[in-house]
């Protein structure tokens, strides 16, 4: 890739979700933007280097293979590191269905960090930038690439394979709504009773739905969502351990620490320290490393 490339588009065929611009840049040390409010949704994906992103009064220390979302109503600021400035690509988009798409992806200004496959996103961005700026054929191509870009960042969960294979899930609106409710609200202090009350079904019936189709209880799924988010916050943000606990829906630091250690074999502070000391490892490599330590 070149050091910088950028292109604006004036697509009008689609209103649900359409692309505004795309580009990439090797930033200079300390390069920054903001504080500012942007006119559309923007996702930056870091190819190399590192930097800081400030959103909703939270500071995130970000590195390669990590993306951050900017919403049009949010005041944000971001800055490249002075020693290892980031090289990132970005895509700007808007549309009537974008809030719903992002909600279902589980990202917002309160949860703005994503992870994706570098080579895939580079290829998609280069294909977008290679299109002409006009013509229906080119708009159709950009539209497909925009959705491909978003799908490449759409997070999977540990249950994704069982979810895809579950006939009961596909045919059970209660289960779909329960999963979406948990994924969109786990950072609040909710419990299984809140999920069943939201759906208007009994706790026992909800438990049966989860166990039969996913092999896990709704409580286990809720805990997974909370702790998975906690790992990302411990890695990517400057939040204190206590604030990480509250940001993941735990009302007590002790309850959070106990749940975290039960799953990972480490306290949250020990996890953060170990992650920092093994900064060059990918998330997959680090997770395998953690499992070896726990044994």
Q: List the single range of 85-89, 132-136, 222-226 with lowest mean pLDDT.
A: 132-136
Residue 192, helix vs strand vs coil:
helix
According to DSSP, residue 96 is labeled T
4: enclosing H helix or E strand:
strand 4-8
pTM for the structure as a whole: 0.68
Q: How far apart are CA 22 and CA 291, in angstroms?
A: 39
To the nearest whole percent, how much of the chain has pLDDT over 90?
Answer: 45
The more confidently predicted of residues 146 and 248 is 146
Give the span between the Cα atoms of 243 and 62, in whole angstroms: 18
Dihedral sign, CA of 17, 21, 26, 27?
negative
pLDDT of residue 78: 96
Highest mean pLDDT among 77-86, 154-163, 229-238: 77-86
| Mean confidence (pLDDT) of the chain | 85
Above pLDDT 70, what percent of the chain?
Answer: 88
Flag whether pLDDT at 284 surpasses 60: no
Reported as a pLDDT band with limits 50, 70 and 90, residue 131 is very high
Angle between helix axes 203-214 and 192-199 (nearest 10 degrees) is: 100
Per-residue pLDDT, 65: 87
pLDDT given for residue 281 in this prediction: 54
Give the mean model confidence (pLDDT) for residues 263-291. 72
How far is residue 204's CA from residue 293's CA, in Å, rounded to a whole number?
Answer: 37
Q: Give pLDDT, residue 89.
A: 96
Continuous H helices in the chain: 98-105, 118-129, 136-153, 160-165, 167-171, 173-185, 192-199, 203-214, 218-236, 241-247, 253-264, 268-277, 283-294
44-62 average pLDDT score: 92
Rounded to an integer, the average pLDDT of 227-234 is: 88
> Given pLDDT bands bounded at 50, 70 and 90, which one contains residue 40?
very high
- Using CA atoms, how far apart are residues 122 and 65, in angstroms rounded to an integer? 11
Q: Would you give the distance in Å from CA 244 to the centre of its chain?
A: 16
71 near 39, Cβ under 8 Å? Answer: no
Alpha carbon of 125 to those of 46, 148, 171, 172, 283: distances in Å? 13, 10, 36, 37, 23
- Alpha carbons 233 and 248: distance in angstroms, whole number: 9
pLDDT tens figures, 134-158: 788 999 999 999 999 999 988 765 4
Regarding predicted confidence, which is higher, 290 or 260? Answer: 260
Reply yes or no on whether the pLDDT at 274 is more than 60. yes
SS3 185: helix
* CA separation, residue 71 to residues 2, 190, 231 (Å): 27, 26, 23
Distances, alpha carbon 163 to alpha carbons 148, 176, 201, 209, 220, in Å: 21, 10, 21, 12, 15
């Amino acid at each position: 890739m070149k050091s910088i490339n950028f292109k604006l588009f004036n697509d009008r065929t689609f209103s649900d979700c359409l692309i505004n611009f795309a580009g990439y840049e090797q930033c200079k040390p300390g390069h920054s933007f903001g504080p500012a409010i942007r006119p559309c949704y923007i996702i930056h994906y870091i190819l190399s280097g590192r930097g800081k992103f400030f959103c909703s009064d939270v500071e995130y220390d970000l590195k390669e293979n990590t993306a951050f979302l900017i919403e049009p109503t949010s005041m944000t600021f971001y800055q490249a590191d002075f020693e290892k400035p980031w090289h990132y690509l970005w895509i700007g988009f808007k549309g009537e269905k974008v809030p719903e798409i992002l909600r279902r992806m589980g990202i917002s200004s309160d949860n703005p960090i994503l992870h994706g496959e570098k080579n895939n996103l580079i290829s998609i961005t280069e294909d977008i930038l290679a299109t002409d700026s006009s013509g229906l054929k080119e708009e159709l191509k950009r539209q497909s690439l925009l959705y491909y870009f978003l799908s490449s960042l759409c997070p999977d969960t540990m249950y994704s394979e069982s979810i895809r294979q579950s006939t009961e899930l596909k045919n059970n609106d209660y289960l779909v709504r329960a999963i979406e409710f948990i994924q969109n609200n786990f950072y609040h202090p909710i419990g299984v009773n809140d999920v069943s009350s939201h759906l208007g079904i009994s706790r026992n019936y909800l438990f049966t739905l989860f166990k039969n189709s996913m092999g896990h209880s709704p409580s286990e799924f809720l805990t997974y969502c909370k702790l998975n988010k906690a790992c990302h916050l411990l890695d990517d943000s400057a939040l204190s351990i206590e604030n990480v606990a509250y940001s993941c829906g735990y009302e007590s630091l002790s309850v959070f620490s106990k749940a975290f250690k039960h799953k990972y074999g480490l306290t949250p502070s020990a996890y953060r320290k170990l992650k920092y000391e093994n900064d060059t490892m990918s998330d997959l490599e680090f997770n395998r490393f953690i499992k070896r330590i726990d044994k």
